[in-house]
Amino acid sequence: MPEKAHYGLLKGKKGIVFGPLDESSIGWQIALHAYREGAEIAISNVAAALRFGNIEELSTLCGNAPMFVCDASKNEDVDACFKELKEKMGSVDFIVHSIGMSQNIRKQLPYEDLNYEWFIKTLDVSALSLHRLVSYALKNEAINKGGSILSLSYIASQRNYWTYSDMGDAKSLLESIVRSYGPRLARQAIRINTISQSPTYTKAGSGIPGFEKMYEYSDLMSPLGNASAEECAEYCMTILSDLSRKVTMQNLFHDGGYSSMGATIPMIKLAHEVLNDKELALRVGLDE
């Protein structure tokens, strides 16, 4: 395969990416692409992920990027992380939050019967953690004027996706935190956005019940097809770079056009086939 083009979009910038686990992770691809675009990179995850993921490999690929153990649901961890980051690298120009987790989804509890302790944990780990990262980055003066803060969202923040369960609530909160922080951060010319990504085969993604079907449906409904983690990382580079200086408080769809579609020809054809074939309808559970 030909070498990919790099544009030096992040030359002279420093940043930290929270949440890379393995090569499939969106955060992994973002860290790698940022490094290739010229940034000096740090990476962070919880202790277990640093033990069981391939994060050392990522660090090597990113020019021996420093690694920080940090549970983003713990104030003291996040505070210590930014202090240590500042000591080792100085303040940064961008922060990427690529973190999500729902115990309720892992255990496949129905939405009507959520475990509330886990529900609170979902909101804390997947949404409040963004608030916490921003808050401690500011307190430690660890983010530079003109910086960019980016998190990953999913369209279930705005529309119902049955099996996405309490993560839909977490993504709504995440996008709301982005709007609430926007004008406050703008006082230092710092911008904050989410990118709403297509379903992507990652550890977190494929843990969602029926993920394969969700992925296929979304692919058929997207004129450009689902976006991969690598393609997502490429888009992220523009949002971390100075090319998007005036973009803030946005939820930016990176989904092959999915979010603007009503119906696509392949989906209509499929539905037509099923509705006119009783046996097939029975097989896929549409007998009523």
List residues near ligand NAD by CB under 6 A: 18-19, 21, 25-27, 45-46, 49, 71-73, 98-101, 125, 152-154, 197, 199-200, 202-205
Residue 97: in which H helix or E strand, if any?
strand 92-97
Binding-site annotation: residue ranges: 19, 25-26, 99, 171
The residue from 154, 161, 181, 258 that is catalytic is 154
By C-beta, is 34 or 125 nearer to ligand NAD?
A: 125
In angstroms, what CA-CA distances link 274 with 70, 270, 277? 49, 6, 5
By C-beta, is 73 or 248 nearer to ligand NAD?
A: 73
Question: How far apart, in whole angstroms, are the C-alpha atoms of residue 10 and residue 129?
Answer: 25
Binding-site annotation: residue ranges for NAD(+): 19, 25-26, 99, 171
Q: Smallest gap, in angstroms, from Cβ of residue 119 to ligand NAD? A: 15
Q: Which two tokens stand for residue 103?
A: 């115990």
Question: How far apart, in whole angstroms, are the C-alpha atoms of residue 85 and residue 168?
Answer: 32
Query: Which residues, including other chains, have CB under 8 Å from residue 25's CB and lie 6 or more apart?
Result: 19, 98, 202, 203, 229
Q: Smallest gap, in angstroms, from Cβ of residue 170 to ligand NAD? A: 8
154 catalytically annotated = yes
By C-beta, is 186 or 217 nearer to ligand NAD?
A: 217
The residue from 35, 136, 161, 164 that is catalytic is 164
Q: Smallest gap, in angstroms, from Cβ of residue 89 to ligand NAD? A: 19
Q: Smallest gap, in angstroms, from Cβ of residue 200 to ligand NAD? A: 4
Q: Which residue is nearest to ligand NAD (CB)?
A: 205
By C-beta, is 98 or 193 nearer to ligand NAD?
A: 98
Nearest CA-CA partner of 271 in 281, 260, 282, 261: 281
Question: How far apart, in whole angstroms, are the C-alpha atoms of residue 127 and residue 130?
Answer: 6
217 catalytically annotated = no
Q: Is 210 left (phi over 0), alpha (psi -120 to 50) or beta?
A: left
Active site residues: 154, 164
